[in-house]
Structure 1
């Protein structure tokens, strides 16, 4: 069965969109799991939240890298676009939550952090495509 050019583009767009959604969902799942771990750790230890700032930031970078990796592996092409789309969608959701929930926009530090997270997600997407593509046997 052959598809017209328009149908192929629509199918390809849906495939890429699905890959981005999988990546963003994996970011939030990983984030929820690490939040649970950190909250339990803070609850049952004498540490306070400020002492875990860098650990939480590292977990954020790892989470977005994994999300980009999953979206790149799921999409199997254009890893930088998939990873970038995953990072952008994640940032948009966080920005909306921040704006609608706290009535505040991002600070300059948060924008810089978001750009770095998007770039990390892009790197994950590129690696996800390359590792998935390299594992195929011809």
Structure 2
């Protein structure tokens, strides 16, 4: 049971980071080869982040098959913890008020994704 939940969390986290890696590459190409600036992409990247964390919650819920709210919450918290540690260790900065709000929204999206993912299963088994 515990191993299945941990595997589900890994699927969720891997989904998030693969989607972010691919979109970062695409957005870097857009910035490089167009006249669009980095500041223009702020809301686009935030929106993509919400979608990706939601997708990570869905994959965690599908793989875990039960307690989607908990799997989604742990997926979102793990993602936020990773971002926090990266920001703190690499840039020596803590979250500010706006980032706490963003990560609260990420957590909410991941929880909703986990609930949705568990319900994708239906009554199969």
TM-score by length of structure 2 reads 0.97
- 5+ residue gaps in structure 1? 1-11
Tell me how many residue pairs correspond in the alignment.
125
Q: 1:47 aligns with which of 5, 21, 36?
A: 36
Paired residues of 1:70 and 1:128 also in contact (CA < 8 A): yes
SS at match of 2:122: helix
Deviation digits for residues 93-130 of structure 1 (CA, Å, limit 9, x no counterpart):
11000000000100011011101101100000000000
Paired residues of 1:72 and 1:125 also in contact (CA < 8 A): yes
TM-score by length of structure 1 reads 0.88
2 CA distance for matches of 1:91 and 1:61?
12
Deviation at residue 133 of structure 1 after TM alignment = 2.6
Alpha-carbon RMSD: 1.0
Aligned to 2:14: 25
**Structure with larger Rg:** 1
SS at match of 1:133: coil
Aligned to 2:112: 123
Residues 98-137 of structure 1 mapped to structure 2, 5 A cutoff: 98-134=87-123, 136=124
Deviation at residue 29 of structure 1 after TM alignment = 0.3
Q: Which structure 1 residue ranges, 4+ long, deviate > 6 Å from structure 2?
A: none
SS at match of 2:6: helix
1 CA distance for matches of 2:68 and 2:56?
12
2 CA distance for matches of 1:133 and 1:75?
13
